[in-house]
A and B are shown apart, each in its own frame.
Chain A
C-alpha cells in the first residue's frame, strides 16, 4: 500500500518541528509523492506498510541517545504450547495502543498493551488432527489488520490447520458475520475431492487490500515428495466483511488456462505446491497484489513436470478485487533448486534517470534483485535470458535459459569456482580443493545430480543453496532515500538425487535429504567469507552502496588452530539479520542461529552505532517500532534453543530520565 503522507500529518509535523524544518519537508515530499512507511506512529502491517518497507519515520531514538535504550518490558510465551515454542518469527502489529501477534505452536493470537506488555486478550482454538498433521505447526509470522474507519476493527489470522479467522480487534472475539461464526474453513474453500489434511497450511499472515483478505497457502517441504500428485496451492481471496470467497487464482493453470502449455505431458493436472508461503504485499492505491509464488512439487527433481511451469517461481501481479492477472515475470524456469520466491515484494517509489517510478523489488535465494515497474511489470534494468548448464539426471528437464538481471549487481556469492574457496593458507586452500573433488560444482543454475553419478561424483554443490541467499526475513527499504537493504547468507546446498523405493515415492528421483552433509576443511567452511552479510542498494541508481558482514567472526573460525596467527576480518555467520529502518538509523537483529545481538547501524554506511546482548537469546522475529504515550518503542521476538528460553517479545525504550527530542510529540496518538 502506498501510504501517502496526508496534509494534516504534514501540518502536525510542522507545528511540532518548527519552521526550520519546512524547507526540508517540502524538498522531501515534493519529488517523492508516494511517501511510504508506517504511519502515525503505528505499525498496522506485518512489514510496517502494505509495501513491506519496514520503514517508520519515528525519530525519538537517535544515533546520540540509542546507547541509553533500556528494556521496557518483555512478554513471555512459555505457557502457550507444550513444549513451549522457542522460535517465534512474528512481527507484532501496533494499532491504537495494542500489539497483536501470534504465539505458541497452536498459533494463539494475543493482544497486549503497547506501553506495559500486559496481556489484554488471547484467542485460540483446538484444531485436533488438522493441527497434529499440519505442515506449518508453529506460531507463524504475524496477523493482519483491517478497519472500515468507523469502529469495525478486525484482526485476521490463518491457523496452522488452515482456517481463516476474523477477530474483533478490541475483544478478541470471533466476528459473527464472517464465514461460520468468524471462521472460514480453507480446506473446504479449496474445493478438492480429497482430504487435504496434512498437505497444506500457512505460516505467513494473510494480506488485506481494499476490501479483500488474501491467503497464500504453504505446504510441507518437498525435497523427498511422496508423490508427484500433490495439493495445488491456489491463491484465494475473501471479502473482509463476510468471508465470502471473492476469487481464486490458479498458480498452476488448469487445462485450457493461460500458461497450461508450460506444463508438458499434462503435468499440470497432478502437480501441486506453487503456493505463496512467504509474506507478500499489495498496493492499496493501484489495487494490485504482488504474489511471490514458490516452486512446484519436487524441490530438487522435476522430471515428472517437464516445461517452464508457470506460475511457479514467478512474481505475479493480480487485481486485488477480481484476481485477474495484470502481469507476471517468471524468475526461475522449471525450478529444481528449491529457490522459490521468498522475500516480500518491496514497493518503493524512487527516481531512475530522473524519472519517478513505482518499483517492486524482489530479492531471491539466488542473490539477485529483480526490479520491475510495479504498474506494468516491465524490468527497470534489462533482464537477459542466458544459456545455463543442462542436466544429465535421468528423465529431468532443464530450461535452456534462465533470466539474469543485468543490474543491480548480485548481493551474495553465486556459483562456485576455485576462486571462491578459502585461501587463508595455501594448505587450507589445497584441502578445500580436495574436499570438493567428489562433488560437482559450477555456475548458478547448475542442476542437481545423482548421489551415485556415472562420473563418480556424489551430487552437485550449488551456491546459493536453498537455505542461502535472501529469505522471508531479509528485506527493508527507506522511502526517503530510495535505499533498499537485504540480508543474506552464503550457504551452499548439496543436491544429491536418489531413486526412491515405491514405498517412499512414485517420483523417479528424490533428494538424498533436504540438506545432506557437505565437506569441510578441518572444521572450517570451504567457501571464503563473509558467511552472512547486509547489503545496501541505492535503488535510484541500481548500485550497491555498502556491504557489511553480519556480526563477528564465530569462535569456531576465530579460535581455529590453523588460523591463530592470521588477522581475519569479520566473517559474520551463516544466519540472516532482520532489519528495521527508521528516520534515524537501521535497527538490526543478528538473526536466528547467531549470537543474541541487537544493533543500531548507520543507514548510509553500515557503521555500528550501538549494540546490546539480548538476555532472552537470538532474534527470531523481525524488529518493529511504534510511538506510545510519548515514547518510541522497539520490539523484537527472541528465544534460545540451547538455553531453552521460550520465545519472548522484548521491548526497548529510552528511560524517562533521558531528555527526548522535541519532535517525538508529533506521532503521539
Chain B
C-alpha cells in the first residue's frame, strides 16, 4: 500500500464532509443549536436502552433517515464512513456471544443466545449514534457548530481553538502531504515506507515551520487590532422552525424511549393478520 494514501484519503475525506456542509437545504438552514440539541437527545435516548434491546431501537432510524432526506445527504458515503470506523466496536462486541451463551429465544430450530442479541443491539446503537453525529456535521459545517457550541456555554477560548484547528487543518494536511510525496519520490528502495528516523526529520521540520506560521498568524492578528480576545459576530436565530425541530424530535425520541411503539405497532399488525 502506498504510504501517502492514508493522508491523501483523510484529506479528501474531510473535504467531502466539508463540502456537503456548504449545501443549502432546509436542514442546512436550521440553527445549528437545534440540530445539536436534537442529536444529543437522540444519542442519550439510544444508549439508555438495556443491552438486549433491539426492537425498540429500530424506530430510532427514523431520525437519520429523515435527516438524510431533508439535507439531501449521500447515504452511501455515510455508510462507508460508518464501516470504516466499525472495527473497534465489532472487536469489543464480538465477545458478547462468547461470554453470554444463555439462550434467549428460539426461531424455529435455531436458538439465539443473549450474547448475539446484545451484539446485534450494540451494532444498531453504533449505527444510530455514529450516523447521527456524521449527519450533524455534514448538515451543519464545523465552524457554525463551534459558534453554536460557544452560544450554548462552551468556553470561548475552546471554541476559538476548535475554529483555528479547523482552519489550519487543511493547510497543514496539505503541507505534510507535500512532504510525504516529496519523500516517496526519492525513496526508491523502500517503496515509500517512512522509517522512524525519517519520520522524526519530517515531523521536526514540519513542527518548526508550524511554529513559524503561528508567529506570522499572530502578527496578522496584531496588525488588525487583536488584543487577546477573538470576537465573532454570528447571528443565529432560533425561530419557530428550530423550536419545532428540536422540541418535535425530542418529544418523538422520548416517546419512543418510554413507550414501546414498536411493540404496540407490531402487536397491532399481528392481530390484523
Q: Do A and B come from one complex?
A: no
